[in-house]
Amino acid sequence: QISLKESGPTLVKPTQTLTLTCTFSGFSLSTIGSVGWIRQPPGKALEWLALIYWDDDKRYTPSLKSRLTITKDTSKNQVVLTMTNMDPVDTATYFCARGAQQQVAGWWYNYMDVWGKGTTVTVSS
Amino acid sequence: DIQMTQSPSSLSASVGDRVNITCRASQSIRSNLNWYQQKLGETPKVLIYAASSLQSGVPSRFSGSGSGTDFTLTISSLQPEDFATYYCQQSFSIFTFGGGTKVEMK
């Protein structure tokens, strides 16, 4: 059974760096696949943040690229997201999710198939 | 960046209604379009990938269509458990979500 679980601080101060950990089970990032991070401010839409592939290739949303770093520890089945210079507008629920690929009519398509329950982060002094 | 625009942002419907939600991309994304359902307080769940492929375990009343820049999610006969917010997501160039469509009870 595949599962993911986010962990990290619930409260951070403005200008601080946020570090979130996604611990997963039921699959491995050693030879295939990807894990991504998505956030959702209270009452607002989902926002995709970052993705890391099994081969350590990384992708970031352009608007936050300068503040984000995604890494993985394959031996621990963990993916870590750091976000620098936190601001109250970064208050949100942060989700990690497994990246899936399916082939349809000869083309590969990507989506997020299993999500963690999310962790709520509040940015306030 | 590819922008995704959903419409409407909310709609009211009754059980049994046919519901259509549209999603428009700012440039062609071919068929790299996914649909997710998020119920209040819950985690998003993928319904459709590759614009029209039904994820395993998802009821057949959900369907997706479109390619290029214009896409539609259709619920053929709305059920009580379908009242939720729906998001489109492009996967042509990394990922971007649309703003969401909230389906409420009339």
User: Over the stretch A4-27, which tens digit does the pLDDT of each residue have?
Assistant: 999 999 999 999 999 999 999 999
pLDDT-derived band at A28 (thresholds 50, 70, 90) equals very high
Tens of pLDDT along B70-101? 999 999 999 999 999 999 999 999 999 999 99
**Does residue A31 surpass a pLDDT of 90?**
no
**Does residue A69 surpass a pLDDT of 90?**
yes
Give contacts of B53 with chain A, Cβ < 8 Å: 102, 104, 109
Q: Is B86 on the interface with A (CB under 8 A)?
A: no
Sign of the C-alpha dihedral, residues B63, B47, B50, B32? positive
Give the residue from B21, B38, B56, B94 with the most A CB atoms within 10 Å of its CB, the best one to mutate. B94
Q: Which residue of B has its CA nearest to A58?
A: B94
Supply the pLDDT for residue B4: 98
Closest by CA position to A46, among listed A110, A100, A92, A114: A92
Give contacts of B94 with chain A, Cβ < 8 Å: 48, 51, 59-61
pLDDT-derived band at A34 (thresholds 50, 70, 90) equals very high
Cα distances (Å, whole numbers) of residue A44 to A15, A38, A124, B91 = 23, 12, 19, 21
Tens of pLDDT along A71-92? 999 999 999 999 999 999 999 9
Supply the pLDDT for residue B97: 98
Closest by CA position to A114, among listed B29, B1, B44: B44
Strand ranges (DSSP E) for chain A? Answer: 3-7, 11-12, 18-25, 34-40, 47-53, 58-60, 68-73, 78-83, 92-104, 107-115, 119-123
Tens of pLDDT along B22-61? 999 999 999 999 999 999 999 999 999 999 999 999 999 9
Give contacts of A113 with chain B, Cβ < 8 Å: 46, 55
- Mean pLDDT, chain A, as a whole number? 97
For residues A84-102, give the mean pLDDT. 97
